[in-house]
A = this chain, B = another copy of it.
Amino acid sequence: MEQTFTSSATGPGIARGAVAALADEPLDWRFKAAPPGAWGRTTREWLATGPTLSSLGTPLLTLDGAALDHNIRTMAHWCAKAGVALAPHGKTTMAPALWQAQLDAGSHGITLANLPQVWIARAFGVQRVLLANTLLDPAGLAWLAEELAADPDFAFLSWVDSVESVRLMDEALRAAGAERPIEVMVELGGPGGRTGARGVDAAVAVAAAVLRAPTLRLAGVGGYEGALAHDASAEGLAAVRGYLRELGELHGRLAGAYPDGVRPVVSAGGSAYFDLVVEELAKLPEAFVVLRSGAYIAHDDGFYRGISPLARGGGEVPFRGALHGWARVVSRPEPQLALLDAGKRDLPFDEGLPEPQRVRGGAELTGTAARITALNDQHAFLRDAGDLAPIGAVLRLGVSHPCTAFDKWTAIPVLDDANAAEPKVTGLVRTFF
């Protein structure tokens, strides 16, 4: 029996052996986070030597293992309580070991954004993939059809938002001789938003086209509420809520239209508004509600710290920022200007600049006037730290936007506790970008 995205019969979800084998990979200069002392050793062997943070160079990005565990557990618990499934967006980390941790905590599958990301998921045996995008590349669809035919346990669900996309997908899948129909959700968008059919009527027309296409199977509705607002203001929240109600309306309009045996998916939910998603969608009849939050796993000390539902909501345990940059003061050419050896190639800068938090083995910087005012390719400009950040000091930096932090590192050391005086390196997360 071929699996569908909502099937409850599951295999292991991910190829544990392939994930575990990453720790047998030899380390060398290919990994900018791996110091020369690790070269020639596998990750497993290097970790067995008991490395600590101070044995690593700069610039550096680290993950706090305790914060990661906390965030994964907290989100899993929150979704279970809300009665919704979670298919965390894997594009945030592109790290099979972290996907495995999310699946182990009860995630239903992994969401991805494009075909190269699906290749990586399949290389690590991920069995349920939600592609939150429309796949139109004929060669890509041919690959997908072959992959689905070869593995009846592989469940794949993607999006479509126009009658023309349905036509192009169907044409390419017929040409490829696809054996299994591809499950698709109709994507609803919103004015000023990103992809997605504009308005419920347009979306219903797309669904009708899917129902006529023999190579596709209508599996639900969804979209991305995060493109409709960028803050937690009353206006932003109202725009998101209005969109979610339209999505609920679309779900209602399609009741009875699904093929036999399909329990319709209703999916929304990045890391910024998943509370509203649950408020509006969890009550829908017959819906298999899937959240796709990705950034929550690492959270941050910037954009998501400001907007996370668990920070907004009363009485919730908030997520913890798990990502930290570490950079050294290499110059202090003016009394209130210091230059650090981390830049745009090392740390995210698109949703706010890194924030100086403290000096390793030294002063607290949080709450002082010290701030980063610009990044160059390989430098950060630190202002108003005065004597708190002397030449040679290593600073811990909070970062904003996990998605553009992970993608700058092929291997990210995991610390037991980034707040410890001498954090231990307890893992090394491999990413694939």
Contacts and interface: CB of A to CB of B under 8 A. Distances in A.
A176 interface: no
Task: Determine the main DSSP class of A at the interface with B.
Answer: loop
Contacts of A332: 162, 164
Interface string A175-213: 000000000000001000111111000000000000000
A407 interface: yes
Interface in A16-38: 28-30, 32, 35-36
B195 A331 contact: yes
Contact of A377 (B57, B91, B140, B196): B91
Nearest to A188: B333
Given A137-B328, A162-B333, A345 B407 contact: yes
B198 A333 contact: yes
A195 B343 CA distance: 13
Given A377-B91, A377-B403, A410-B433, A29 B331 contact: no
A215 interface: no
A164 B32 CA distance: 27
A345 B195 contact: no
A113 interface: yes
A390 B328 CA distance: 49
A165 B331 contact: yes
Considering residues A58, A165, A194, A377, which has the most beta carbons from chain B within 10 angstroms of its beta carbon? A377
Contacts of A168: 391-392
A120 interface: yes
B36 A136 contact: no
